[in-house]
Chain A
Amino acid sequence: DAGITQSPRHKVTETGTPVTLRCHQTENHRYMYWYRQDPGHGLRLIHYSYGVKDTDKGEVSDGYSVSRSKTEDFLLTLESATSSQTSVYFCAMSTSGSTGELFFGEGSRLTVL
């Protein structure tokens, strides 16, 4: 039992199309995060959520939006995908906002052609 799962795990899409990545957790954790990981960069925070309908921007939020209508689900949407958004996206969760102990999903590899 993974506790946190991401879908889809792989996706290829074309520039200009909308894309939604889903993160689902079964641990009832309050905090959830979306990161992207690219060669030559560390993990960079896109958006995070500290409760249902409570979200905030991270370091690289331009071009992304998020929604959290239920504790267990955190959605990341690219309204109009661009090639610069080709990346591996990781969802993570934590028990509180003051801890750096995050539990990560397996990642979603997105390719924008």
Chain B
Amino acid sequence: EDQVTQSPEALRLQEGESSSLNCSYTVSGLRGLFWYRQDPGKGPEFLFTLYSAGEEKEKERLKATLTKKESFLHITAPKPEDSATYLCAVQGLRYSTLTFGKGTMLLVSP
């Protein structure tokens, strides 16, 4: 059974204070790891796909990295508009559907 654990559950940052969110996973062969952003009352919005250890993807202040056991979402100099819940999901080779973590709720204060 594929499993995804995200930490911390919630994170509060001051504007400009960089930090990282963690996504640990166990999967029987990784097809892909995915990061989503979810705003309150909205559906998740796709951010990144990572396929293999060592891979990195960047978008504005966000950078996602991948190892064989975990992924990090690094947030550099965050702004209040980065406040959201960030979801991590894995897709294994055995099952094509995604397994999601519970998410990290990020709040960036001005």
| B interface bracket (residues with beta carbon within 8 Å of A) | 20 to 34
Q: Whose C-beta in chain B lies nearest to the C-beta of A45?
A: B97
Residue of A nearest to B90 (CB): A100
Q: What does the 1/0 interface line of A92-104 toward B look like (CB < 8 Å)?
A: 1000011111111
Do B102 and A42 touch across chains, with their CB atoms under 8 A apart?
yes
B7 in the interface (beta carbon within 8 A): no
CA distance A40 to B105 in the complex (A): 12
Tell me which residues across on chain B come within 8 A of A40, comparing CB atoms: 102
- Most central of A40, A48, A100, A107 by chain B CB within 10 Å: A100
Given the interface contacts A100-B34, A100-B98, A104-B44, does A42 sit within 8 Å of B49 by beta carbon? Answer: no
CB contacts (< 8 Å) of A43 on chain B: these are 44, 87, 89, 98, 100
For window 52-104 of A, CB contacts with B under 8 Å fall at 58, 90, 92, 97-104
Question: Digit string of B83-104 for contact with A (CB within 8 Å is 1, else 0)?
Answer: 0000101110000111111110
Given A43-B87, A98-B31, A100-B91; A107-B98 close (CB under 8 Å)? no
Tell me whether B97 and A92 are in contact (CB under 8 A): no
Chain B residue at minimum C-beta to C-beta distance from A96: B96
Contact of B49 among A90, A101, A104, A107 (CB under 8 A): A101
A98 to B92 CA separation, bound complex (whole angstroms): 10
| Residue pair A98, B96 in contact (C-beta under 8 Å) | yes
Q: Flag if A41 contacts B31 (CB, 8 Å).
A: no
Complex A-B: 27 CB contacts under 8 Å = A41-B102, A42-B101, A42-B103, A43-B44, A43-B87, A43-B89, A43-B98, A44-B100, A48-B97, A90-B44, A98-B31, A99-B32, A99-B49, A100-B33, A100-B34, A100-B91, A100-B98, A101-B34, A101-B49, A102-B44, A102-B46, A105-B43, A106-B41, A106-B42, A106-B43, A107-B41, A107-B42
Report which A residues bind B (CB closer than 8 A): 33, 40-45, 48, 58, 90, 92, 97-107
